[in-house]
Chains A and B, each alone.
Chain A
Amino acid sequence: MTAPLFLEMAINGLISGSIYALVGSGIALVYGTTRVLNFAHGELLMIAGYLVLFFAVTLGWNVLLASVVTLALVGSIGAAIQRITIAPLLAREDWAFRVIAATIGLSIFLQSGAQIVWGEQFRTLPYFFDGVVSLGGLRMPVQRLSILVIALLLMGLCALVLYRTSLGRIVRATAQDAEAALAVGIPAGLVHTSVFAISAVLAGAGAILLSPILTVNPWMGVSFLLKGFAVVILGGLGSFGGAVAAGFLLGLIEAASVMVLPTEWRDVVAFTFLIAVIWVRPNGLFAGREA
Chain B
Amino acid sequence: MVDLDTLENDQPLLVAESLSKSYGRIAACRDVSFALYPGEVLAIVGESGSGKSTLLQMLSGQLTPSAGQVSYRMRDGVTRDLTTLGEAERRFLFRTDWGYVHQDPAQGLRMAVSAGANVGERLMAVGWNHYGRIRDTSSDWLTRVEIDIARIDDAPRTYSGGMRQRLQIARNLVTEPRLVFMDEPTGGLDVSVQARLLDLVRSLVAELHLAVIIVTHDLAVARLLSHRVMVMKGGRVIETGLTDQVLDDPREPYTQLLVSSILPP
Task: Decide whether A and B are members of one complex.
Answer: no
